[in-house]
Amino acid sequence: MITVMDKSIPDKMYFKISEVSKLTRVEPYILRYWETEFKMIKPMRTKSNQRLYRKKDVELIFRIKRMLYEEGFTIAGTRKKLEEESTKDPEQLNLRLEDKKYLSLLIRIKKELEAIRATLR
């Protein structure tokens, strides 16, 4: 479990938008809006177009919330600060690509398992 600002993030790989909303106490419509304002928040999508947030996304959402609501940053100011910091961490770019490959693999495995289960019935 990861703790961010006295909040515990469960040890899971992916979170649905409702789970992120509950953890961060940020309404889903605000999370969707923040996705448009902060390009670093890029949840993966399932084939049914459901958002899946990673732990890093949840941590970033906590950070954005703190900057906006507690530290008094504007959206533009928060975006600028986060973009400046992200250029210092080039590994961030590689993680997204690997996460997409991993999710794709998990989806394929799930389909194969479902096919095996259907055969066994």
Q: Which CATH number fits domain 2-89: 3.30.1280.10, 1.10.150.170, 1.10.1660.10, 3.40.50.720?
A: 1.10.1660.10
Confidence of residue 98 (pLDDT cuts 50, 70, 90): low
The structural domains of the chain, with segments of one domain joined by +, span 2-89
Q: Are 53 and 99 in contact (CB under 8 A)?
A: no
Q: How far apart are CA 47 and CA 52, in angstroms?
A: 11
CB atoms within 10 A of CB 58: 24
Confidence of residue 41 (pLDDT cuts 50, 70, 90): very high
Percent of the chain with pLDDT over 70: 82
Bridge partner residues of 8 (DSSP): 3
pLDDT at 3 over 50: no
Q: pLDDT digits over 46-63, tens only? A: 889 999 999 999 999 999
Q: pLDDT digits over 8-31, tens only? A: 788 888 999 999 999 999 999 999
Q: What is the pLDDT, as a whole number, of residue 99?
A: 65
Residue with tokens 């996460």, as numbered in its chain: 99
CA angle 39, 40, 44 (to 5 degrees): 95
Q: Are 41 and 34 in contact (CB under 8 A)?
A: yes
pTM value > 0.85: no
Q: How far apart are CA 23 and CA 16, in angstroms?
A: 11
CA angle 75, 17, 67 (to 5 degrees): 25
